[in-house]
Every structure is written in C-alpha cells, then in structure tokens.
C-alpha cells in the first residue's frame, strides 16, 4: 500500500528541519520498503510570495487528499505587514479548519540525556512520557458572541464565549481513550466544573463515553488549575490528559517546558475517522515557529520535526516499531553528547542541523 505524505516546509527554519525528515523518508523507503510517496507544496510566507495567499487552493486540495501532512513552520518579519487574512499563520489556520483537526496531541517526553537540564529536578522528569490531548476547534477561542462593546460611560465590555456541544466532547475524549489503549491505559480529564457549565458537561460526557465505549481504560478527573499544579509537582502520575482548547493551550505549554527546549517538541493534529476507511486526517508539526533569528544558518534543531515524523508513522500508518526505533535513535544520539546550539551544554559536541539529522539516521 502506498503512503501519501504531503510536505509543507513553510518559512524560516521550516525547510531546514524538513530537509532532515526528507532524508529519513528516503531512507525508510530504500531500507524498510516503507512505500512513502511524497508531494510538496507552499505554505505561509512562501505561498504568499508565490500566489498572494497563505496556502493555494491547489495545495489545500492536496492536503485534504493525502494520508498525512508534514508541516514545518510559517511566518517571519518579511511578512509582518501583509493583510491579516493572507498572513502566514492563516495557512495553518485554514489547514486546521478545512481538515477539521479537532484533536491536538502534545507529547511531553523526557530524553534521559536532557533530564539534568530541565527546569525541574531530574528525578521529577526522568523517564517522563505523557500525552496531552487538547480540543482544538471549539471552546472560548471560537464561541459566539465574541465582542467588544462600548458601554457609553467610558467603559467597554469584552465578551468571549465558551461553547461545547456533546459531540465535540465525545469525539475528543474518544481520541484520548483510543490513544491511552496504546499506552498505559489511563486518562485524566481536566476542566473547571466547579465554576463553569462547560466543565459540568465536559465531565459528564467524558464519563459517559468511557462507560459506553472504553470501560477498559482507567479514567480520573481533576480541576484544571489543580492539574497545572500536579503537572509541575509530579508529572509522572499522568499518562494521557484530555482537556479543552483554552486549558489545553496552557497546560501543554507548561508540560512542554518540563522536558526541554522548543526545538525538541513535536505535535500532531487529528480529525475525525473517515466513514469508509476509518483513517483520520492528520497534520504533524513541530511546536516551534520559523525562528527567523537563526534561519539560514544551518544551526536549527531538527529533532522537533523528526519527532513529528515519528508521530506520523505511529498514528497515521500504525508503524509502531519504526516510530519506536526513530525515537530511540533520537535518545541514542543525545546520549552520545551531540547537541544543536539551542540544547548545548558543557562537555557536549555542538553540531549543525544536517549533522544532527545524519547522526539520528545512522543511529
Ligand atoms: P519561534 O518558535 O520561531 O522561536 C522562539 C525562539 O526559540 C527563538 O529564539 C528561536 O531561535 C528558538 N527556536 C525555535 N525553534 C528552534 C529550533 N528548532 N532550533 C533552535 N532554536 C529554535 O517563535 P517566535 O520567535 O515567537 O516566532 C517566530 C515566527 O514564527 C513568527 O513569525 C511567528 O508568528 C511564527 N510562529 C509560527 C508557528 C507555526 O508555524 N506553527 C508557531 C509559533 C510561531
Ligand atoms: Mg500556546
């Protein structure tokens, strides 16, 4: 079976990191008969320069038709003044919207070699492997009404609205439970049912979904603020965390910093399973942006992008052994003391983007 990947390298360090993944794709095809077919498009500033849009309709159609999108990063000072609806970020927003990518997966894995450089005590993060599943297309970032009104007495009123329907909570919790089954089989759901109606419904629907469809998965609940504390106090108590858009935005950034630098963090965004094939639409991308301050120097850390490709193999193609091996290769390479500038520490060897990619491939 062919496996269709659509590559959108984007701007800044996006193409530099993607080049390392392209090497890995070629390697997997040649030595493991992986059968990856790749096509490539433009997104962000690169697409704006070429077509005057943050992603062209033709590339959008390819993203919709492929098995998985690999996305680099978009943006940069060059496009600071372009109109709002064609700014580089609009490309990513359109992909998320048109592909209905409602589930954002943010793993926080601590590579042993980097445990000592965490902002927490090494024993708190050593061996850490948690997965935050954030609802990405609903909640207070999108709910209506969303307004600023002049009250006429020198005061203004800003309104954002948190809205969640049953189906939205059901589908995000189903993703969390499914993923838990491939891990340690535990889900912790976080909301604020003590002060928010959406938290009450969230709790109710997650509980019902577990009962009806995932009785084998262990479910617990935590208020989201307490969850934030627990994430920093003893993160290893968690396996999968499922939460809404707003809390997930914050909690996933907190979890990210337990384990290291932006240059290390992968992510995935998944849509609903296709009615016929059961396959989910999917986009894989590093958490970091286009890093204009280091772009073009060949010093960017490619690990976030490479680890995103590992997630792609794991979640879009069920290539579990291959994903495990790629992640192990990242750990081995770090164990050898190879570091890009952003994660450099004493006694280690500083390498370029390409050298890091080659070392991981060799491992
Ligand atoms: P950024 O993530 O691009 O960079 C923040 C800092 O981390 C910089 O000092 C950068 O050099 C460093 N850094 C990031 N990734 C790195 C890597 N792989 N290796 C080594 N160092 C790395 O965030 P920033 O500076 O806030 O935004 C820069 C541009 O990227 C902006 O135009 C922003 O809108 C865009 N952006 C795009 C995102 C995306 O495409 N998903 C996400 C975040 C920002
Ligand atoms: Mg955030």
The mean predicted confidence, pLDDT, of the chain is: 96
Residues 357, 333: Cα–Cα separation, whole Å: 10
Torsion angle of C-alpha atoms 22, 53, 46, 313, degrees rounded to 10: -20
Cis peptide preceding 148, ω within 30 of 0:
no
Active site residues: 141, 192, 225, 249, 253
The conformation of residue 338, written as its DSSP 8-state character, comes to E
- Residue 1, number of CB atoms within 10 A of its CB: 6
Mutation to probe ligand 1, out of 11, 288, 301 (largest number of atoms < 8 A from CB): 288
Q: Is the shortest distance between the CB of 292 and ligand 1 below 6 Å?
A: yes
Q: Of 107, 105, 167, 166, whose CA–CA distance to 136 is shortest?
A: 105
Q: What is the pLDDT of residue 2?
A: 83
The upper half-sphere exposure of residue 253, i.e. CA atoms within 13 Å in the direction of its Cβ, equals: 6
271 C-alpha vs ligand 1 centroid, how far in Å?
25
- 1-118+263-363 CATH pick, 3.30.420.40, 3.40.718.10, 1.10.274.10, 3.30.1050.10: 3.40.718.10
| Residue 150: strand pairing partners | 156
288 C-alpha vs ligand 1 centroid, how far in Å?
5
In words, the CATH class of domain 120-259 is alpha beta
Ligand nearest to the CA of 299: 1
Residues 211, 49: Cα–Cα separation, whole Å: 51
Q: Does the annotation list 16 as a binding residue? A: no
Tokens of 223: 């208020």
Q: Is the shortest distance between the CB of 219 and ligand 1 below 6 Å?
A: no
Could you read off the pLDDT of 285-336 as tens digits, one per residue?
Answer: 999 999 999 999 999 999 999 999 999 999 999 999 999 999 999 999 999 9
Q: Does the annotation list 294 as a binding residue? A: yes
195 pLDDT higher than 70: yes
Q: Is the shortest distance between the CB of 342 and ligand 1 below 6 Å?
A: yes
The conformation of residue 119, written as its DSSP 8-state character, comes to S
Under the banding of pLDDT at 50, 70 and 90, the label for residue 230 is very high
**Contact call for residues 247 and 288 (beta carbons, < 8 A):** no
Q: How many percent of the chain have pLDDT more than 70? A: 100
Q: What is the pLDDT of residue 178?
A: 96
Could you read off the pLDDT of 87-125 as tens digits, one per residue?
Answer: 999 999 999 999 999 999 999 999 888 888 777 888 899
Q: Boundaries of CATH 3.40.718.10 in the chain?
A: 1-118+263-363, 120-259
> Closest Cα to atom 38, ligand 1: which residue?
289
Mutation to probe ligand 1, out of 289, 296, 307 (largest number of atoms < 8 A from CB): 289
> Closest Cα to atom 12, ligand 1: which residue?
291
Mean pLDDT, residues 331-358 taken together: 96
Q: What is the pLDDT of residue 353?
A: 98
Ligand nearest to the CA of 141: 2
Q: Is the shortest distance between the CB of 339 and ligand 1 below 6 Å?
A: no
Q: What is the pLDDT of residue 1?
A: 63
Q: What are phi and psi of 285, to 5 degrees?
A: -155, 150
> Closest Cα to atom 6, ligand 1: which residue?
291
Q: Is the shortest distance between the CB of 263 and ligand 1 below 6 Å?
A: yes
> Closest Cα to atom 26, ligand 1: which residue?
289
DSSP 306-337: HHHHHHHHHHHS--HHHHHHHHHHHHHHHHTT
Q: What are phi and psi of 42, to 5 degrees?
A: -115, 140
Q: Which residues surround ligand 2, an ion (CB under 5 A)?
A: 249, 253
Q: What is the pLDDT of residue 25?
A: 98
- Kindly provide the ipTM of the predicted complex, given to two decimals: 0.98
């Amino acid at each position: 079976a062919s496996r269709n990947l659509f590559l959108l390298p984007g701007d800044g360090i996006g193409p530099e990191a993607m080049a390392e993944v392209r090497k890995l794709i070629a390697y997997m095809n040649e030595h493991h008969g992986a059968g990856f077919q790749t096509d490539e498009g433009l997104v962000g500033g690169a697409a704006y320069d070429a077509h005057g849009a943050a992603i062209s309709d033709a590339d959008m159609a390819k993203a919709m038709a492929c098995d998985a999108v690999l996305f680099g990063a978009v943006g940069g000072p060059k496009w600071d003044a372009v109109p709002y609806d064609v700014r580089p970020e609009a490309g990513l927003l359109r992909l998320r919207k048109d592909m209905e990518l409602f589930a954002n997966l943010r793993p926080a894995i601590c590579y042993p070699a980097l445990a000592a450089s965490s902002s927490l005590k090494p024993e708190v993060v050593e061996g850490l492997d948690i997965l935050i599943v954030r609802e990405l297309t609903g909640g207070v970032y999108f709910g209506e009404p969303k307004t600023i009104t002049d009250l006429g007495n020198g005061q203004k009123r800003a309104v954002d609205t948190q809205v969640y329907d049953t189906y939205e909570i059901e589908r995000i919790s189903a993703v969390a439970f499914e993923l838990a089954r491939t891990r340690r089989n535990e889900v912790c759901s976080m909301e604020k049912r003590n002060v928010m109606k959406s938290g009450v419904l969230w709790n109710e629907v997650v509980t019902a979904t577990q009962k009806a469809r995932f009785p084998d998965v262990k479910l617990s609940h935590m208020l989201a603020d307490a969850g934030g504390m627990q994430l920093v106090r003893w993160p290893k108590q968690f396996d999968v965390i499922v939460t809404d858009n707003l809390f997930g935005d914050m909690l996933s950034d907190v979890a990210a910093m337990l384990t290291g630098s932006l240059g290390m963090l992968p992510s995935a965004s998944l849509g609903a399973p296709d009615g016929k094939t059961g396959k989910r639409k999917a986009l894989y991308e590093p958490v970091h942006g286009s890093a204009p301050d280091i772009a073009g120097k060949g010093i960017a850390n490619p690990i976030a992008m490479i680890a995103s490709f590992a997630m792609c193999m794991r979640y879009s193609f069920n290539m579990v052994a291959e994903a495990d091996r790629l992640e192990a290769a990242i750990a081995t390479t770090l164990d050898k003391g190879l570091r890009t500038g952003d994660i450099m520490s004493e006694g280690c060897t500083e390498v370029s983007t390409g050298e890091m990619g080659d070392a991981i491939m060799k491992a």
